[in-house]
């Protein structure tokens, strides 16, 4: 069974997202084929806040991880 890992980049532009793809690729190589990395584009830092118990982060990946 494949395990899913969600990788959040720092938020921002498509160029930032594409630059972080190297990190995602490296993580995938180190974790191996039993892991699937979900790497959503987050155009705003609001989605990445952990304030308030991480509610915004917890809500976002539900659809991505299904």
The full DSSP string for 1-66 is: --EEEE-------HHHHHHHHHHHHHHHHHH-TTEEEE-----SGGGG--TTTTHHHHHTHHHHH-
Q: How confident is the model at residue 4 (pLDDT cuts 50, 70, 90)?
A: confident
Predicted pLDDT at 1: 86
Predicted pLDDT at 64: 53
Residue range(s) defining the domain that contains residue 42: 3-65
pTM of this prediction exceeds 0.95: no
pLDDT tens-digit profile of 7-62?
Answer: 877 667 888 888 889 999 999 999 999 999 988 887 665 455 555 555 555 555 55
Domain count, the chain: 1
């Amino acid at each position: 069974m494949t395990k899913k890992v969600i990788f959040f980049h720092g938020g921002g532009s498509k160029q930032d997202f594409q630059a972080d793809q190297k990190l995602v690729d490296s993580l995938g190589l180190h974790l191996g084929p039993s892991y699937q990395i979900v790497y959503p584009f987050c155009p705003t830092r609001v989605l990445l806040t952990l304030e308030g118990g991480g509610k915004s982060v917890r809500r976002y990946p539900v659809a991505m991880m299904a």
